[in-house]
Chains A and B, each alone.
Chain A
Amino acid sequence: MTSTLVIARKELLDLRRNRFLLAILGFVLVAVVISVVVSATQFGTKLDDYNTYLDALRAAGSTTTPAAPQLFPLQLLRGSIEYLEILGALFAIVMGYGTIAKEKQRATLQLIYSRPISRYSLAAGKLLALAVAWLIAVAVIFGAVTATVAIVGHATFAPIDVQRLLVAAATAWAYLLMWSALALGLASSARRLSTALIVALVLWLTVVLIIPQIGDTMDPDNQVPGGLFKSLQIAKPDEQAVLANFAGFDSVRNGLEVSSITKHYERFTFAVLGIKDQYNQQPLAAVWTGTWNNAVSMWLAALLAAAFAIFTTTRRKLLRRTT
């Protein structure tokens, strides 16, 4: 246990001193904050348009008052969540890979294993350090976006909103830790570091970008700007009745999407934050009932990645002759 903590402390010290890592985390932070500012500005533009329209109506002598656009502060986080699922995952891979790559490149593994450390201490220590590092990073990111929503979006948060933010932050933490653990395991198990990086990058490309993109492309409603059913002027109940005839196609499309863990993360987080209209302003219990499978898949994948990292980061694997 002590050796695990010593390794974790040393890893955290290294992470803190790594200016490049701090720079890329800063980059993610800037991207997510910009995203909130853009969303808040877009809402402001919509509100201005509404007021102009209202003034024109009144000037024309109309007494009808159309419904004003309503601000749901957590919906402003959509872009930020998407940045975490795309860029966050990429940088999580770099962080996880770096923890093992530096030991291999500096040939310090022999020195570490000359000490009396237990079988899984190195993996557990590094994983613990990554978990703490991501906890701090996620806390900073969510703190920053929440503050931006409050300041730029002029929004106030109810206690339930804070709970939603905490659940979303915990899910983001598990998602990012999953990618770091996966990269750590790959860097440990591959004979060549470059092979580990290749596999991790191809996995990222496939799981985060390609599969969700194919799923989106296959969605009939995404084929026409503004939505197919809107362009055909079809009401929601009729839309569902028509789509029931294409259940097979939709199953294939959905099956493809749920093969990506990124999609599970996105679906659960969008539901919790009310970004998906179906779950907006719904109690957390109702959200859980509708999306528990996404949350369980997400956390299970994170646990599997952590187990993969721990069981592959062994003395035998790390000290074998590399090519």
Chain B
Amino acid sequence: MTTVLTMARQELVALRRERLPLVLLIVFVVMVSVSSLIGWLTNTTVSNVWQKTVEAGLTQAPNPFTDVSALYYARNTVIYLVLIGALMAIVVGVTSAMRDRKARTLDLVLSRPISVPAYLLGKLVGIGAWLAMILALVAVISWTSISVITGAALGPGESARLVAFYAVAWLLLQAFVTLGLLSGIYSARETTALLVPISIWSVVAFVLPQIGTSANPVSLLNPVPSVIVPGGAFDTLNTVLSPLSVTEEFKTASGLILGNPEVTGSLPLSLFVIVLAFAVGAIVLLATNRDRIRGALRD
């Protein structure tokens, strides 16, 4: 246990010094910070558009945002987690696995009484703690900005929902961290190590949902999961492929937790898929053998 904690502490120190994760972290925190503001600005404009149409006698439909929860302003954070957060998690995983290989310190580390699973678990725990701190920070930013926008502090129920949302986000990011770590261990080149998980991310975030729902790639940048096209082969394809699209499951889980009325689906199923993705990644990672993690780099 001590070795795992030592590795985790070393990981935290190393992450503080890395530049690529730091740059992505800054982009991520800035985007999450402004997302509530963008959401508020847009919602205000939509309400004003509705007001104008009512005044002109063009519609009798109710304001689409009359009964939305205060947490609706956090909905854009979902997409920044899927885009920037997932890429940041991949980069952190790859960088972590590559660090010891590039510095050729792995043999030295493994000459100490430390098992390979403990070494890898330490990395996973360290990165997990780093991500937890970041998500705690953005949760505080979200809570504060939503409270300022709505003019009242979020109540205990809404605060709990926000915490639950960031907890699920942590699980999703940890799944991408394991993907990055595995790629960093198995790849012979740094560029390959970075591009393989990014390609897998693009398959999960774009290709699989498109096959199942026929949604175009850019519309998948919407925080709401794509709507299934009824009939034809899409029903069957969606049944088979939707559990593999972890990012769409995350959108469903987030929408349900944040109380987004546009989102429908099963929260337990979505949570199960996200937990399963993390668990499978962690099991495969911890089963990696000594020879594999000592593999030489080609560049």
B199 touches A213 (CB 8 A): no
A230 CB to closest chain B CB (Å) equals: 10
Flag whether A295 is at the interface (Cβ < 8 A): no
**In A20-34, which residues have CB < 8 Å from any B CB?**
20, 24, 27, 31, 34
B56 touches A205 (CB 8 A): no
Binds B, one of A43-51, A137-145, A169-177, A308-316: A43-51
- By a CB distance below 8 angstroms, the chain B residues around A213 are 79, 83, 221
- Are A198 and B23 also in contact (CB < 8 A) when A210-B83, A232-B58, A232-B59 are? yes
- Are A86 and B206 also in contact (CB < 8 A) when A41-B234, A223-B64 are? yes
- Are A243 and B49 also in contact (CB < 8 A) when A202-B23, A233-B61 are? yes
A24 to B191, CA, bound (A): 12
Binds B, one of A55-63, A75-83, A157-165: A75-83
A205 touches B53 (CB 8 A): no
Binds A, one of B175-183, B208-216, B286-294: B208-216
Flag whether A217 is at the interface (Cβ < 8 A): yes
B53 touches A194 (CB 8 A): no
- By a CB distance below 8 angstroms, the chain A residues around B12 are none
- By a CB distance below 8 angstroms, the chain A residues around B202 are 31, 86-87, 90
A241 to B254, CA, bound (A): 36
Q: How large is the interface on B (under 10, 10 to 19, 20 to 34, 35 or more residues)?
A: 35 or more
- By a CB distance below 8 angstroms, the chain A residues around B210 are 34-35, 38, 79
B196 CB to closest chain A CB (Å) equals: 9
Report how many residues on chain A are interfacial, defined by Cβ distance under 8 Å. Answer: 62
Flag whether B157 is at the interface (Cβ < 8 A): no
A83 touches B211 (CB 8 A): no
A236 CB to closest chain B CB (Å) equals: 12
By a beta-carbon cutoff of 8 Å, the part of chain B in contact with chain A is 19-20, 23-24, 27, 31, 38-39, 41-43, 45-46, 48-50, 52-53, 56, 58-59, 61, 64-65, 76, 79, 83-84, 87, 91, 189, 191-192, 194-195, 198-199, 202, 206-207, 210-211, 214, 216-218, 221-222, 224, 227, 229, 231-234, 262, 299
By a beta-carbon cutoff of 8 Å, the part of chain A in contact with chain B is 20, 24, 27, 31, 34-35, 38-39, 41-42, 44-45, 48-49, 78-79, 82-83, 86-87, 90-91, 94, 97-98, 101-102, 105, 194-195, 197-198, 201-202, 205-206, 209-210, 212-214, 216-218, 220, 222-225, 228, 231-234, 238, 241-243, 245-246, 249, 266
- By a CB distance below 8 angstroms, the chain A residues around B233 are 41
B191 CB to closest chain A CB (Å) equals: 7
Chain A residue nearest to B216 (CB atoms) is A79
